A and B are shown apart, each in its own frame.
Chain A
Amino acid sequence: MAKTTDHLGRPVVAVTGIGLITSLGVGTEDNWQALTSGRSGIRQISRFPIDHLNTQISGMVDFLKSSSEGPSPLTYEMAETVAIEAIAQSGLDDHDLAGPLFLAAPPVELSWKSRLGLYAAASEAEGYQRLLSAARRQNNSEIFDTVQFGTIAGHLSDRFGTRGLPITLSTACASGATAIQLGVEAIRRGEADRALSIGADGSATEEAVIRFSLLSALSTHNDPPQKASKPFSKDRDGFVLAEGAAALVLESLDAARARGATVLGILAGCGERADDFHRTRSKPDGSPAIAAVRAALEDAGMAEDGIDYINAHGTSTPENDKMEHLSLATVFGERTRKIPISSNKSMIGHTLSAAGAVEAAFSFMTMLEGVIPPTINYDNPDPAIDLDVVPNVKRSADVGTVLSNSFGFGGQNACLVMAREPV
């Protein structure tokens, strides 16, 4: 039996439960089938009018009860749903998880629906003065809840019986990976035997689409929508905004074995590094991303040749894919071309705060099933990016280890190393 402590004598962290929602559907099984079939979840936006918008497509989760209720209710519903799935798989009690909660979630704001509703509910004064007096009169706890940053995690903590003060975090597009990292650290420090890490993002509002659009971050390839996300392609023109969620039940390998749980994989290493170059662009030499990859490998006690597959950040923006390639080529050298790498975002778009968790979930599935999901829409390769992107069709492969990258605005770089067995 393998050791239950790692190369630094810390408890090995196992994954015993996985839950998933993306625009492809609800549940790990359905998502995996769709993803490995190369199906796209990107569609024309139907949640709000698309008049005047340059980008009219997204990977929204439009099939849940709260899909049209606004970001907070949808983010909560997705987080709850994936946590139920993950905890059920782990065999733990979903009303008494008895470990800390780490939630990666989008920053909250008063929705336009509520904002306009408040404004219409009063007649005196104008602008924010009127909103304030309407707020004072209505004292509406539901709307209040939607604008408190700690509410979603609080409700999740109540629902699942997690312990202590739940942490809600944002490291932009690296948030999901950070939520997992925080869970890993809590277990390694011996503060907890188990933790629940969730990434959930239901914030694809009209204002979100417009904000990213104004930063020229989104693809405007509206027709056909499923062709818009084309990571590593020469004609890639931005990412596709999307929603989704994933939950992982993390446990010390000792604790998981002691209760006879099925171990789905090992969270072997986490690395992070901040970039001080620019708010949206990475340092031209890629050094922060390179340092984050190396830190994750070092944390896992693994050499560069230990990685079998890379789950790319692969957003399909001109900048990201170029910089990600540069970083990987620097770390892996000659071998880079030989490591299969694919972008889940080619099918599900960019699930923002959830992406790191969603892609970690898919990474574990990749190892468990021995199948690498493809990078679809790879019809026009970028000659400057020489990678084996597992183009367009899934591939069977024995994958024992995965590196998953997450890079975000604000200089956020976080990388995870996952393994099928303890390393």
Chain B
Amino acid sequence: MSPNDVVITGIGLVSALGVGSDAHWQRLTAAAPEPVVDALRFAPYTIHPLPEIDWNLQIAKRGDQRQMETWQRLGTYAAGLALDDAGVKGNDALTATMDMVVAAAGGERDETVDSAILAASASRTDHGILLNEKLTTELRPTLFLAQLSNLLAGNISIVHKVTGSSRTFMGEEGSGVSAIDTAAAGIRSGRSTHALVGAALNSDHAETLLAYELGGYLHRGPWKPVWDRAGAEGGGVVSGTGAAFLVLESREHAEKRGVPIYAKLDRVVSDNARRSHDDLSAEIEKLLRKADPEGSAGLVISGASGAHTATNAERQALKRLPSAAIRAFSTLTGHMKEAQFPFAIALAALAIRHGSAYPSFDRHVEKDSAGEPKAALATAVGFYRYEGAALVSKA
């Protein structure tokens, strides 16, 4: 035990399953957890949609809500939940000295404007002039601010007054891994005492799906659990709308404040395997062993995306590890890219705090578990690149 141990004191979650960490715990520990899906809106693709959510609860000003697109509202909302949970929200002395690392992609485009340009392009050859004509007259001026990657963090600063520092990392699942790693490293080194870290993804948006489907990564046809998509049509990913934010803190800082601790974040490891050359499952196995050298984890919260190659490699790697209960939450929430790793860590921390694992999310693959997990692994193997894992244990 060290005063600079990194502990988790706040969790904010949103997914198709609901809003808040309690709602997630309830839904995920139900006897037979069921996913919430929308198979119609973007058919033949299925998504896990935005749940019912009252933005006013975390974003008090309508004006602020209007300035954001959905991914920013989601992230700002989940950040607020995490800050509330940690007893930080509204405490100016704490938020003004709090570090922040957000993992984000870009924001949302105006599909109406884009579609109008695309439609007009069919009957015109002067596409450059067409773009200027339409974009100068039809783009909403402030939309840009709802698209810039770092403006999720910017909105969190404005709404929740987190201003110690603000960094935004980009790069799919890997950016979520780096965000957690960087925030934790700051605390471990004593430079930082408390940090807000997380991400959000809006999948109720064609542009989000397009980013996957340009590489053929989306699953088509009826919904299936993450581990069972290999033989199905398409690339295996079912995208989900959601967000995950964590408050990380030094043990000393948390204890001084007298707030409850979910779990300790022991170790974050990451890799950039050369997937075209390396044996990915061997690389993942090495990574997991590095995260949990003593094989103490009785539970693995897997962020497996469903993407065929990466998901199969992770499954093979997990088979070679000491026996642990494996739970791939994307089966129920969908894949949330940048938010995948923070989400995995959040679910791992919830299980540690409650002293029990989740029931199987996939009866064919995930075996039931017995007993109380003292430690849990969280993984995020990128659907196309980058790998990360963390060990979370009893504080």
Contacts and interface: CB of A to CB of B under 8 A. Distances in A.
B121 A116 contact: yes
A185 B388 contact: no
Contacts of A52: 129, 132-133, 136
Contacts, number: 248
Interface in B119-138: 119, 121-122, 126-129, 131-133, 135-136
Contacts of A359: none
A396 interface: no
A138 B213 CA distance: 10
A189 B386 contact: no
Interface stretch (A90-98, A397-405, A408-416): A408-416
Nearest to B45: A132
Contact of B127 (A116, A129, A170, A191): A116
Report which residue of A126, A139, A182, A210 has the largest number of chain B beta carbons within 10 angstroms of its beta carbon: A210
Interface in A164-196: 164-172, 178, 182, 185, 188-189, 191
Interface stretch (B202-210, B236-244, B324-332, B354-362): B202-210
A120 B136 contact: no
Contact of B118 (A116, A140, A172): A116
B163 interface: yes
A398 B387 CA distance: 48
Contacts of B100: 274
Given A168-B170, A185-B191, A127 B154 contact: no
B213 A135 contact: yes
A107 B153 contact: no
B211 A148 contact: yes
A154 B385 contact: yes
Contact of B162 (A108, A166, A274): A274
By CB atoms of chain A within 10 A, which of B104, B131, B186, B271 has the most?
B131
Interface string B131-155: 1110110010111110111110111
Given A109-B106, A131-B210, A409-B148, A165 B272 contact: yes
A143 B214 contact: yes
Given A120-B121, A165-B271, A213-B136, A191 B185 contact: yes
Contact of B169 (A151, A167, A210, A279): A167
Nearest to A279: B145
Nearest to A150: B171
Interface stretch (B11-19, B175-183, B249-257, B369-377): B175-183
A42 interface: no
B169 A215 contact: no
B14 to A, nearest CB: 21
B136 A274 contact: no
A373 to B, nearest CB: 28
Interface of A: 48-54, 105, 107-110, 112, 115-116, 119-120, 126-132, 135-136, 138-141, 143-144, 147-151, 153-154, 157-158, 164-172, 178, 182, 185, 188-189, 191, 206-207, 210-215, 272-280, 288, 408-412
Given A49-B126, A52-B132, A185-B191, 4 more contacts: A128-B114, A147-B210, A149-B172, A210-B135
